[in-house]
């Protein structure tokens, strides 16, 4: 289906540590901001899709997560669909909301992503990530990660996964070591990703971390899992992001001055394949480009799932921004920095903006919408007209469990 949903308004909270702000309050703040941006009231909404990944584990809220948030605003009656799809929960919510608008089922809908990960017991927070793999295969996964780390001389990565850090950092570290061995990518190039995103994030008032870092500072930071130092790993966080979508007919009625259209949104799950074969990110990107009628050369700005610095390197390759194995050189050349040919993660990305997992996918849409509408202040990409969001989550075998690529056009 060719999508025809229009972004009428966007809103999000500051991402970070909100120990004194509840799950409901975070979601309500983002919804209120998106409705205000759209110039609408909550009575205008006809349906809502609410993405969340870990509230059950961290806060104990199960089953009716979207309903409790919206009811706190006094909003009931409308259908509310709760979406859980690992780190791709919010992008999946947006995908489904856009599809229903495009199908003519509704004229005005809400897509919301919300997450609260900080908890006094850090093991609870890390458990949210440990559950995003095949838990029946957990022992084998941990053994493989530890064996690979030991064989590669990675002392920090040999223990502590899932207890002192998210086990996904060990998965990304193993991926990084393999990329370095096969393509000659360096730790300095991974550090360049973090430094670039810290520069972008320093200009984003909603980012979790606002301090700009040099490559040297990134490399000198505490080691988490070789070769990843702390700034090369996305933090846990709390936050919410929301989008109001409308039909083309409603957009005309409202007279939206700078319409941003969801021209493609492709959602897939991973599958079993060889390490050198196409995976979910490549397949999603190819399908999204085809649906939108564009290629990677047409993009103005990209928000990709940089849950770690090497993840951004891999994403740039998967999205066709460079050839396989050239992601490290791409960032080293300055191509993905503001002012470069294709700026990536102008928000600061997950590394600096933060990664409240169930909110991340829609936060990317907020950034791209504001870029296309020229509302991004000091981090504005000049003449931005087309943006791509790449958001994946979970891991099974050699692929993400869920992957979504969305393209917006002004």
The set of catalytic residues is 87, 355
| Cα 111 from chain centroid (whole Å) | 15
Torsion angles phi and psi, residue 5, rounded to 5: -85, 140
The DSSP letter of residue 229 is: E
* Cis, peptide link before residue 227, omega less than 30° from 0: yes
What's the CA gap between 75 and 244, in Å, rounded? 15
Contact 319, 390 (CB under 8 A): yes
Strands 386-396 and 399-409, how do they pair? antiparallel
- Please name the helix (run of DSSP H) or strand (run of DSSP E) that holds residue 250, with its range, or none: helix 248-254
Residue 75 makes CB contacts below 8 A (sequence gap 6+) with: 42, 45
Residue 55's φ and ψ, nearest 5 degrees, are -60, -35
- Say whether 369 sits in a helix, a strand or coil: helix
Q: Determine the Cα–Cα distance for residues 399 and 258; give it in Å rounded to an integer.
A: 37
Name, in order, each residue with C-beta under 8 angstroms of 319's C-beta and a sequence gap of 6 or more.
281, 285, 296, 302, 304, 388, 390, 405
d(CA 69, CA 116): 13
């Amino acid at each position: 289906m060719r999508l025809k949903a229009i972004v009428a308004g966007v809103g999000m909270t500051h991402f970070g540590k909100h120990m004194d702000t509840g799950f409901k309050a975070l979601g309500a703040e983002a919804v209120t901001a998106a409705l205000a941006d759209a110039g609408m009231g909550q009575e205008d909404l006809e349906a809502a899709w609410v993405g969340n990944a870990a509230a059950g584990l961290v806060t104990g809220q199960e089953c009716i997560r979207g309903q409790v948030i919206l009811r706190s605003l006094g909003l009931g009656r409308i259908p509310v669909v709760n979406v859980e799809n690992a780190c791709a929960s919010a992008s999946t919510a947006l995908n489904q909301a856009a599809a229903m608008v495009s199908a003519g089922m509704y004229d005005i809908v809400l897509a919301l992503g919300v997450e609260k990960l900080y908890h006094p017991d850090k093991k609870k927070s890390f458990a949210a990530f440990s559950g995003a793999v095949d838990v029946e295969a957990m022992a084998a996964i941990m053994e493989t990660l530890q064996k690979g780390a030991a064989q590669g001389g990675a002392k920090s990565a040999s223990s502590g996964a899932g207890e002192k850090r998210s086990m996904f950092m060990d998965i990304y570290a193993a991926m990084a070591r393999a990329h370095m061995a096969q393509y000659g990518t360096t730790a300095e190039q991974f550090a360049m990703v973090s430094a670039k995103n810290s520069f972008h994030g320093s200009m984003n008032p909603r980012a979790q971390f606002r301090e700009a870092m040099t490559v040297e500072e990134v490399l000198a930071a505490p080691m988490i899992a070789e070769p990843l130092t702390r700034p090369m790993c996305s933090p846990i966080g709390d936050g919410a992001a929301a989008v109001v979508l409308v039909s083309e007919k409603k957009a005309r009625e409202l007279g939206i001055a700078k319409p941003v259209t969801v021209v493609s949104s492709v959602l897939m799950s991973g599958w079993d394949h060889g390490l050198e074969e196409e995976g979910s990110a490549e397949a999603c990107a190819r399908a999204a480009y085809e649906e939108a009628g564009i290629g990677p050369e047409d993009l103005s700005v990209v928000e990709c799932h940089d849950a770690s610095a090497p993840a951004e390197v891999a994403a740039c390759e998967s999205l066709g921004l460079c050839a396989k194995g050239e992601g490290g050189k791409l960032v080293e050349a300055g191509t993905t920095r503001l002012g470069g040919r294709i700026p990536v993660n102008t928000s600061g990305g997950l590394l600096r903006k933060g990664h409240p997992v169930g909110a991340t996918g829609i936060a990317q849409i907020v950034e791209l919408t504001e870029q296309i509408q020229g509302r991004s202040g000091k981090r504005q990409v000049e003449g931005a007209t087309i943006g791509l969001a790449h958001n994946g989550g979970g891991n099974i075998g050699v692929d993400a469990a869920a992957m979504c690529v969305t393209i917006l056009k002004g």
